[in-house]
Structure 1
Amino acid sequence: MSPHRPAGTTPPLKCRTRTLDFSEGPKVMGILNTTPDSFHDGGTLTGPEGELDLGLALERARRMLSEGADIIDIGGESSRPGARVISTDEEIQRTAPLIELVRRESDAPISIDTYKAAVAEAALQAGADIVNDISGFSFDSAMPSVCNSYGAAAVLMHTPARPADMQWSTRTPNGSEDITATVMHYLEEAVRRAEAAGVQDIIIDPGFGFGKSVEENFRLLKRLGEFRSTKRPVLAGLSNKSFLAHIAASGGKPVRPTAERLSATLAAETLAVLNGADIIRTHDAGGAKTCIRVVQAMVGLHG
Structure 2
Amino acid sequence: MQSRPITEWHLRTRRIELGTRTLICGVVNITPDSFSDGNLFLNPENAIAHALQLIEEGADILDLGAESTRPGSQAGTNTALSPDEEQSRLLPVLEGILKARPDAILSIDTYKASTARAALLAGAEIINDVSGFTWDPNANPAMPAICAEAQCGVILMHTRSLPDQWRTQPQLPADQLITLVRNGLAASFELAINSKIPPHAVVLDPGYGFGKRFNENYALLARQSRLLELNRPILAGLSRKSFLGHTLAPLHNGQSASPSQRETATIAAHTAAILHGASILRTHAVRPAVEAALIADAILMAQSEETNRS
* Residue identity matched to 2:57: E
Q: Paired residue for 1:294?
A: 295
Q: 1:130 to 1:223 in 2, by over 3 A?
A: same
Task: Provide, for residues 80-122 of structure 1, a one-character-per-residue CA deviation record: whole Å limited to 9, x for no partner.
Answer: 1222421110000111121112122141321000000001001
Q: Distance in 2 between matches of 1:215 and 1:119?
A: 34
SS in 2 for 1:167: helix
Q: Distance in 2 between matches of 1:26 and 1:10?
A: 11
Pairwise mapping of residues 61-100 of structure 1 onto structure 2 (< 5 A)?
A: 61-84=51-74, 85-100=80-95
In the superposition, the TM-score normalised over structure 2's length comes to 0.89
How far does residue 23 in structure 1 lie from its aligned partner after superposition?
4.7
Task: Provide, for residues 31-88 of structure 1, a one-character-per-residue CA deviation record: whole Å limited to 9, x for no partner.
Answer: 0000000000000023xxxxxx222111111111111111000000000122242111
SS in 2 for 1:139: coil
Q: Distance in 1 between matches of 2:93 and 2:113?
A: 18
Q: Does 1:103 align with 2:98?
A: yes
SS in 1 for 2:247: coil
* Residue identity matched to 1:138: T
Residues 243-252 or 73-82, more deviating: 243-252
Q: Percent identity?
A: 38
* Residue identity matched to 1:216: E
Q: CA RMSD in A?
A: 1.7
Q: 1:251 to 1:146 in 2, by over 3 A?
A: closer
Which of 4, 22, 27 does residue 18 from structure 2 map onto?
A: 22
8 Å CA contact retained: 2:19, 2:279 = no
Q: Distance in 2 between matches of 1:100 and 1:208?
A: 30
8 Å CA contact retained: 2:4, 2:233 = no
Unpaired segments ≥5 residues, structure 1: 47-52
Task: Provide, for residues 164-223 of structure 1, a one-character-per-residue CA deviation record: whole Å limited to 9, x for no partner.
Answer: x23235744348x51111100000000000111111211111100011112210011111
Q: Paired residue for 2:279?
A: 278
Q: Distance in 1 between matches of 2:167 and 2:255?
A: 15
8 Å CA contact retained: 2:160, 2:166 = no
SS in 2 for 1:300: helix
Q: Paired residue for 2:128?
A: 132
How far does residue 8 in structure 1 lie from its aligned partner after superposition?
4.5
Q: Does 1:168 align with 2:167?
A: yes
Q: Distance in 2 between matches of 1:28 and 1:169?
A: 32
Which structure has the highest helix share of the two? Answer: 2
* Residue identity matched to 2:172: P
Q: Paired residue for 1:50?
A: none
* Residue identity matched to 1:253: G
* Residue identity matched to 1:212: K
8 Å CA contact retained: 2:112, 2:136 = yes
8 Å CA contact retained: 1:10, 1:232 = no
Q: Distance in 2 between matches of 1:87 and 1:8?
A: 38
Pairwise mapping of residues 1-303 of structure 1 onto structure 2 (< 5 A)?
A: 4=1, 6-46=2-42, 53-84=43-74, 85-104=80-99, 105-141=101-137, 142-163=142-163, 165-168=164-167, 171-174=170-173, 178-200=176-198, 201-249=201-249, 250-300=251-301, 303=305
Q: Paired residue for 2:308?
A: none
